Amino acid sequence: LNVVVMGLGYIGLPTAAIIARTGARVLGVDVTERVVETINSGRVHIEEVDLDGLVSGVVARGTLRAAMTVEPADVFVIAVPTPFDAAHAPDISYVLGAATTIAPVLKPGDTVILESTSPVGTTEKVRDLLATLRPDLRVPGRTRDQADIAIAYCPERVLPGRILVELIDNDRVIGGITPRCARKALTFYRRFVRGACVTTTARAAEMTKLTENAFRDVNIAFANELSLIADTMNVDVWEVIRLANRHPRVNILQPGPGVGGHCIAVDPWFLVHAAPDQTPLIRTAREVNDGKTDHVIAQVAAMIAADPAAPVACLGLAFKANIDDFRESPAMKVALAVANRFGDRVRIVEPYAAALPPAFDGTGATLIDVDTAIETCPIMVVLVDHDVFRSIPLEERSEKTVLDTRGIWPDQPRGTAQQPARTAG
Ligand code: SAJ
């Protein structure tokens, strides 16, 4: 089996490597020369647990190669980004670009699978585009004729940090343009997926993916709103959530400094954009989660302003625990806002960064390690729940003024924790 994977990012590269491990010959195609060179030398350009060993193995065995141009294959997997613009309109140009790239090499019997998170109807647009570019091929679902190629949508659902495990263990939703397309794609996923593979239509599969991330966003928004109420009521929100979750039908998520990453903070907008009048809840959840970041910025600023000389340690820049991904990170937004305002009083601790991101250039903020932060910073702001921060014992922070936006230090004396935050309102 020959497989082409379009896009070698956080999803495409692990997917390509896992398929290559099954013995299929995989060509990964990417528009960035550096990415292609890195992979062909057996190395990886992204941090993901166990990915480096897997990639070096399949590259050494010759089952995974990378290139900037496409070649004929039996299965084409599209895993390119779908960002949104300033008006929250989804941009599917990379998806259509990938379809345009593969169109010339398609032949009867081939399967095209879109994995990128996409607005409902995108797979049909891919089908229509391929029909236009390749009038000699019969595309599925347009007439009752049997089609020459199969086209399906199968969203990735993996969690960064657990990608290789979840690629294999998670259930997959496989939406075909026609039932025949779904069955064709199912045969492919069965090669490497241990979870259940459930077939449906392409539109239902597209909406399912957006629904999963919107569900999580709405539920995190609930927790973030609770955190604001609890602050006002002088109650520990994490304790309330722990207690409420003892109810057999209550399962509240965790508040934090906002929602980051390139999925949960993005995908709900695809639903809002498609049905603006039907999505007051999903839109408000987005606004609540973004608003929580602004609230934390105000809290931290008030805390720092209240103690005009003390250096402040911002713990973490990543969008969540134990990863090196800073995209759409609320921690990054908070640290940057504070650095812009308080300059060299701001010390950043981020074990997953070798240097501060360029956005901090000229702010005066510096990158320090955990030990230095404990020695030199009387004010500490927890922005990410990295294990290394969680494990700082009380004796090393009991004298500090702390704002713990992730609730990782439940034993922090109430006198120091969050007090200045409350005055910030
Ligand atoms: N977060 C909270 N409180 C929580 C849980 C998360 O504030 O209780 C924050 C995190 O700190 C982070 C953000 O939400 O900033 C998102 O983190 P996440 O771990 O919930 O999700 P992602 O973005 O890493 O991955 C999600 C997953 N989707 C779901 O769990 C429904 C993953 O399965 C998807 O494959 C991925 O989006 C994607 O690619 O769409």
Among the atoms of ligand 1, which is closest to the Cα of residue 330?
A: 15
Taking only Cα atoms into account, the Rg of the chain, rounded to an integer number of angstroms, comes to 24
Ligand 1 mean position to 264 CA, how many Å?
6
pLDDT (tens digit per residue) in 337-376? 999 999 999 999 999 999 999 999 999 999 999 999 999 9
10 lines ligand 1 (CB under 6 A): no
Judge if 275 and 160 occupy the same domain: no
pLDDT category at 420 given cuts 50, 70, 90 is very low
Domain-embedded: residue 47 = yes
pLDDT at residue 421 in the model: 40
> Measuring from atom 40 of ligand 1, which residue has the nearest CA?
263
- Range 226-231, long-range pairs (CB < 8 A, 24+ positions): 226/252, 226/255, 227/255, 227/292, 228/292, 228/295, 231/418, 231/421, 231/422
Q: Which of 12, 19, 28, 25 is nearest to 67 (CA)?
A: 28
Judge if 144 and 291 occupy the same domain: no
Q: Which of 301, 302, 334 is nearest to 406 (CA)?
A: 334
Judge if 320 and 406 occupy the same domain: yes
Asked which of 134, 164, 195 is the last residue of a domain, the reply is 195
Range scoring the smallest mean pLDDT among 115-119, 196-200, 417-421: 417-421
Taking each helix axis from N to C end, the angle separating 202-233 and 280-305, rounded to the nearest 10 degrees, works out to: 40
β partners of residue 26: 3, 64
Range scoring the smallest mean pLDDT among 57-71, 140-154, 169-183, 192-206: 140-154
Is residue 218 within 8 A of residue 282, CB to CB? The reply is yes
Judge if 37 and 141 occupy the same domain: yes
Among the atoms of ligand 1, which is closest to the Cα of residue 256?
A: 7
Domain that holds residue 34: 2-195
> Measuring from atom 27 of ligand 1, which residue has the nearest CA?
159
pLDDT at 144 over 80: no
Dihedral pair phi/psi, residue 77, rounded to 5° = -110, 125
Q: Which of 263, 57, 255, 56 is nearest to 160 (CA)?
A: 263
Asked which of 144, 171, 195 is the last residue of a domain, the reply is 195
pLDDT (tens digit per residue) in 8-61? 999 999 999 999 999 999 999 999 999 999 999 999 998 899 999 999 999 999
Residue 365: CATH number of its domain: 3.40.50.720
Domain-embedded: residue 220 = no
386 lines ligand 1 (CB under 6 A): no
Judge if 19 and 160 occupy the same domain: yes
Among the atoms of ligand 1, which is closest to the Cα of residue 166?
A: 33
324 lines ligand 1 (CB under 6 A): no
> Measuring from atom 7 of ligand 1, which residue has the nearest CA?
256
**Residue among 154, 181, 197, 263 flagged as catalytic:** 263
Is residue 13 within 8 A of residue 38, CB to CB? The reply is no
Domain-embedded: residue 202 = no
Among the atoms of ligand 1, which is closest to the Cα of residue 384?
A: 11
Residue 304 C-beta-side C-alpha neighbours within 13 Å: 26
Domain-embedded: residue 213 = no
Domain-embedded: residue 97 = yes
Any catalytic annotation for residue 181? no
Domain-embedded: residue 210 = no
**What's the rounded Cα separation, in Å, for the pair 362 and 54?**
39
Percent of the chain at pLDDT above 90? Answer: 92
157 lines ligand 1 (CB under 6 A): yes
Ligand 1 mean position to 328 CA, how many Å?
12
160 lines ligand 1 (CB under 6 A): yes
Residue type, 59: V
Strands 366-367 and 379-382: unpaired
Contacts with 70 (C-beta within 8 Å, 6 or more apart), sequence order: 4, 6, 27, 29, 101, 102, 105
Judge if 178 and 251 occupy the same domain: no
129 lines ligand 1 (CB under 6 A): no
pLDDT category at 422 given cuts 50, 70, 90 is very low
Domain-embedded: residue 382 = yes
pLDDT at 377 over 50: yes
pLDDT category at 419 given cuts 50, 70, 90 is very low
Asked which of 140, 174, 195 is the last residue of a domain, the reply is 195
pLDDT at residue 425 in the model: 30
Residue type, 315: L
Judge if 126 and 240 occupy the same domain: no
321 lines ligand 1 (CB under 6 A): no
Ligand 1 mean position to 106 CA, how many Å?
35
pLDDT at 415 over 60: no
320 lines ligand 1 (CB under 6 A): yes
pLDDT (tens digit per residue) in 271-286? 999 999 999 999 999 9
Contacts with 352 (C-beta within 8 Å, 6 or more apart), sequence order: 47, 317, 318, 322, 323, 324, 386
> Measuring from atom 38 of ligand 1, which residue has the nearest CA?
263
Domain-embedded: residue 200 = no
pLDDT at 423 over 50: no
Judge if 176 and 275 occupy the same domain: no
**Residue among 181, 184, 197, 209 flagged as catalytic:** 209
Residue type, 399: E
Any catalytic annotation for residue 263? yes
pLDDT at 416 over 80: no
Domains identified in the chain, total number: 2
With a threshold of 0.95, tell me whether the complex ipTM lies above it: yes
Judge if 157 and 249 occupy the same domain: no
Q: Select the more confidently predicted residue: 148 or 84.
A: 148
Is residue 148 within 8 A of residue 108, CB to CB? The reply is yes
Judge if 74 and 166 occupy the same domain: yes
381 lines ligand 1 (CB under 6 A): no
Judge if 36 and 100 occupy the same domain: yes
For the chain, the average pLDDT equals 95
pLDDT at residue 85 in the model: 87
pTM of the model: 0.93
Judge if 249 and 394 occupy the same domain: yes
Q: Which of 106, 110, 78 is nearest to 94 (CA)?
A: 78
